[in-house]
Structure formats: C-alpha cells, structure tokens
Amino acid sequence: MPKAFKLLYALAVVIFLVAPLVAILPLAFTSSVFLTYPIPEFSTRWFEELATAAVWQRSIVNSLIIGTGATLLATVLGTAASLGLRNRRLPFAGIARTLFLLPMVVPAVVLGVGMQVLFVRLGIASSYLGVIVAHAVVAIPFVVVSVTGALAGIDRRVELAALSLGASPVTVFRRVTLPLAMPGVASGAVLAFATSLDEVVLTLFVAGPNQRTLARQMFSTIRENISPAIAAAAFVFIVGTILVALAMAAMKRRGKSPAPATS
C-alpha cells in the first residue's frame, strides 16, 4: 500500500474523530444562549455558570467525591486481584481473570438493573456508597489489566532473592513488588478515575438526586434544555482527559526509564 494512501487514510480517520470536538468546543465560549454558529461574541459566561450555579457546583463536587472513592476502591481490589491471578498454581485462574474483566463487556444497562436490585436489598441504593461501589465495579477491569501488565514485567528472581535474604512476604511486597509495579498501579488508578468521571448509565440506575454527577447533569441538561453550559462542561471533560493521558504517558515513561547506576 503506497505511503501516500496510508497517510491520507490516517488523516481521514483523525479528522473523523476530531471533527465533532472541533465543532462543539468553540461554542463553550459563545455569549449566546443557543448552540449556534456563527458565534456572536466570545465570552466565558458559561464557565462562570459552571463555577457559580448551585446545580453545576454540586455535580462537580459529587463527581470528585464519587470518582475519588471509586478510584481508591478499584485500585485496591484490582491490585489485589492482579497479585492473586499472578499465582500460576491458582486453580481456574483463566476463569477468574475472565470474571474480573466481565464488567468491560457486559452492557451497562444490564449492570445497572442488577445493581439497582442488589443495592435496594443491601440498603445502599441512592447513596454515595452505592454509586462508588457501582463505579468501582466497572473500573476494576482497567486496574486489573494495567497492574497485570506491570507485574508481568517484574523478574520473579528479584522477589525470590529478597525472600532468601530473610524478608517477609509483606516486606517483599512493600519494598520490592509494589515499587516496581507502581507505574501500572498509577495508570490503573488514573483510568479508574476517568471511567468514574465519564459513567452515566450506572449513575442513572443507582444514584439518587443528591448524587447527581457532572456526566449525569450534562445528560439531564441535554434532555431538558440544550445550553452552551454543556459545551463548557464538555470542554472541561476534554481538557481533563488530555491531562489524564499526559499523566499516563509520563508514568509509563518514568517506569521504563533505567535506574541510575550506583557504585
């Protein structure tokens, strides 16, 4: 295939993916109350609305609370699962790994209905705990994939050497395994937070009116009244996603950088 054709094809794909963003992002700076072109005048009024309107303020705070809780829970459980699946003598390891990855492929509507029924029985429906658990469920697979890849790159002989020198398994994990796997753990945590921040369907099923996240508020605003505030919120989302991607790239680059030589 000629290089020129490959270049044109890649350029067409990039344009196809980026065009919707290029179309909507400038509208975040419009002074109009409608999402229309041409923009009559550039203004930051809709970003000011995000920062001052009570409904947007509450949704942003809820997203940070739920995202932080879901990230911590998913990172701890996902890392523990990856360490357990690392044991080759574990019976049915393949089945267990598939079960941990199921939330990535099961439709969110199915998960939402099941969680709603379960959370009602557990008494955590329409609560912050319920939303955090729901978001952690869909975020755990990303942590498992990231940490499993990091653990696969660790030479087991390093851990065996630490054990042979008298270190306990807990010390080996804390001083050897975890530092070496930290880039994967951090990347998984970043992905978990981004997944929680973007989750809408599960939030619609398990959250109450007091747990309205930013993504859910955007969804509700689109249904009720299309406002340029949505474009401003989308701008914040995209900038946050770019920062997350840059953070992940920096973590991976730091993890791959050789350690300084010691004499």
Q: What would the DSSP string read from start to end of the chain?
A: --HHHHHHHHHHHHHHHHHHHHHHGGGGGBSSSS--SS-SSB--HHHHHHHH-HHHHHHHHHHHHHHHHHHHHHHHHHHHHHHHHT-TTSTTHHHHHHHHHGGGTS-HHHHHHHHHHHHHHHT-TTSHHHHHHHHHHHHHHHHHHHHHHHHHTS-HHHHHHHHHTT--HHHHIIIIIHHHHHHHHHHHHHHHHHHHHH--HHHHHH--GGG--HHHHHHHHHHH---HHHHHHHHHHHHHHHHHHHHHHHHHHHHHSPPPP--
25 contacts 235 by C-beta, under 8 angstroms: yes
Contact between 131 and 206 (Cβ < 8 Å): yes
Q: What is the dihedral of CA 157, 161, 163, 166, to 10 degrees?
A: 180
Report how far residue 225's alpha carbon sits from residue 222's, in angstroms, rounded to the nearest whole number. Answer: 6
pLDDT at 1: 59
The amino acid at residue 127 is S
For position 262, what pLDDT does the model report? 46
Tokens at residue 247, please?
């953070």
- Digits of tens for pLDDT over the chain (263 positions)? 577 788 888 888 888 888 877 777 888 888 777 777 777 888 888 888 887 888 888 888 898 899 899 999 999 999 988 888 887 676 776 777 788 888 888 888 888 888 888 888 888 888 889 899 999 999 999 999 888 888 888 878 888 888 888 888 888 888 888 888 888 888 888 888 888 888 888 888 888 888 888 888 888 777 666 777 788 888 887 777 777 777 767 766 765 555 444 44
Q: What is the C-alpha to C-alpha distance for residues 22 and 2, in angstroms, rounded to an integer?
A: 29
pLDDT score, position 263 = 42
**CA 37-41-47 angle, 5° bins:** 95
Phi, psi of 30 (to 5 degrees): -80, 150
Contact 150, 78 (CB under 8 A): no
How far apart, in whole angstroms, are the C-alpha atoms of residue 214 and residue 240?
A: 13
Q: What is the pLDDT of residue 256?
A: 59
Which pLDDT belongs to residue 261? 46
Find all residues with CB under 8 Å of 79, minimum gap 6, and list them: 143, 147, 181, 185, 188
Tell me which residue has tokens 């950088």: 257
First and final C-alpha spacing in the chain: 51
Torsion of CA 242, 247, 253, 256, to 10 degrees: -130
